[in-house]
Amino acid sequence: MTGHNAAVQPWRGVVEWTAGTRERLIWRAGQLKPYRTEPLPAPVNYGCLPGTFNPADAAEVDAVWLGVPLAAGTQITARPSGLLHLADGDHKVIFGDPEEGFRALMTWFPATRGAELLEPEQAQAWLESLAAAPSSPAR
């Protein structure tokens, strides 16, 4: 993944599942709600981009934040650093330094799911392609 292009816009996300924990929450109607306890801890911070919609799983677009653990409920506005493209269309927008957690991310979403790492511009283009849904960059 390369540096950020000016065409890559910042997007607002919220952490639902803190790296290193098993307790997973879900963002609904502007607040976090208990979801489930996972069998294994998250290797990265996991969450969503509120106000977006991914038709592949009929839910808000998934996002991951690489680096240090972030508390569930943390809201972050940032430019994507890449896109984890998955064969089933349930892609994950990546934020943060690829050097901090890339290997763990790719292990979590292995090649058997068609996991492929794409550039920030491809993340932006995919997010914009969801324009039929109420998705928009942070302002």
Paired strand residues for 117:
84
Q: What does the pLDDT average to over 11-34?
A: 96
3-state secondary structure 23-78: EEEEEECCEEEEEEECCCCCCCEEEEEEEEEECCCCEEEEEEECCCCCCCCCEEEE
pLDDT tens readout for residues 54-107:
999 999 999 999 999 999 999 999 999 999 999 999 999 999 988 888 888 888
**In this structure, is residue 134 part of a structural domain?**
no
**In this structure, is residue 10 part of a structural domain?**
no
**In this structure, is residue 9 part of a structural domain?**
no
Domain count, the chain: 1
Regarding pTM above 0.75, the answer is: yes
How does residue 134 score in pLDDT terms, banded at 50, 70 and 90? very low
Domain that holds residue 98: 17-129
**In this structure, is residue 121 part of a structural domain?**
yes
**In this structure, is residue 105 part of a structural domain?**
yes
**3-state SS class at 82:** strand
Write phi, then psi, for 47 (nearest 5 degrees).
Answer: -170, -150
> CATH no. for residue 101?
3.90.80.10
Of 26-35, 51-60, 109-118, the one with minimum mean pLDDT is: 109-118
pLDDT at 5: 57
Q: What is the DSSP letter of 20?
A: T
pLDDT at 135: 41
How does residue 11 score in pLDDT terms, banded at 50, 70 and 90? very high
Write phi, then psi, for 54 (nearest 5 degrees).
Answer: -105, 110
